[in-house]
Amino acid sequence: MTESILYPFVAQGALVFVSLFVLARRRLTAFAEGKTKGSHFVTFSGDGEPENVRVAQRSFHNQFEMPVLFFAVCLAAVVFEKDTANMIYVAWAYVGARFIHSCVHLTSNHVKRRFTIFLLSNLVLVSMWIMLAI
C-alpha cells in the first residue's frame, strides 16, 4: 500500500505551491497597484505590504510549521511499513483540514473558525504519530 500514502503526501505538497502562488499573485498585484514599493523587498521590514499580502505570507509560512511533521510521519510510515489503510485515511483527513484552514485563512480569515480547524488538524496529526508508534 506504499503508493497510496503518496497521494495525500503530494496533495499537501501541492497546497504549499498553491499558497506560494496566492502569495505571489497578491504581491504582484499590490506592487502593480502601487500599494507596495520595490524597496520593501530588500529587507521585508515595516508595513510595506497591504494586509491581504501579509495574510498570504503568514498562510504560506504556516505550510512550513506543522505540515513538516506530516511529511515526516508519512515518510516514516512507509519506512516502517505502517502505511495502512487507516493511516492513509487519517492522512487525507489532515490534508483536508489543512486545505480548509488555508481557505479560511486566505478568505474570511475568521480567527475562531481558523483556530478550530487548526486544532482539529493537529489532533489528526497527533493521531498519525500515535498510529506510527503502535
Own/partner pairs for 117-123, CB < 8 Å, 24+ apart? 121/66, 121/94, 121/97, 122/66
Q: Buried b vs exposed e over 72-108: b needs ≥16 C-beta within 10 Å?
A: ebbeebbeeebbeeebbebbbbbbbbbbbbbebbbee
pLDDT score recorded for residue 114: 97
Q: What is the 8-class DSSP label of residue 47?
A: S
Residues of the chain with pLDDT under 50: 1
Please tell me the distance from the alpha carbon of residue 55 to that of residue 90, in angstroms, as a whole number: 28
CATH number at residue 95: 1.20.120.550
What is the number of domains present in the chain?
A: 1
Tracing cell 492522512 back to the chain, one arrives at 91
> What is the radius of gyration, based on Cα positions, of the chain?
17
pTM metric for this prediction? 0.92
pLDDT digit string (tens) for 85-118? 999 999 999 999 999 999 999 999 999 999 999 9
C-alpha cell belonging to residue 32: 502593480
C-alpha cell belonging to residue 114: 481558523
> Under a CB-based contact definition with an 8 Å cutoff, are residues 67 and 8 in contact?
no
Segments forming the whole domain that contains residue 59: 2-133
Q: Which of 52, 50, 23 is nearest to 34 (CA)?
A: 50
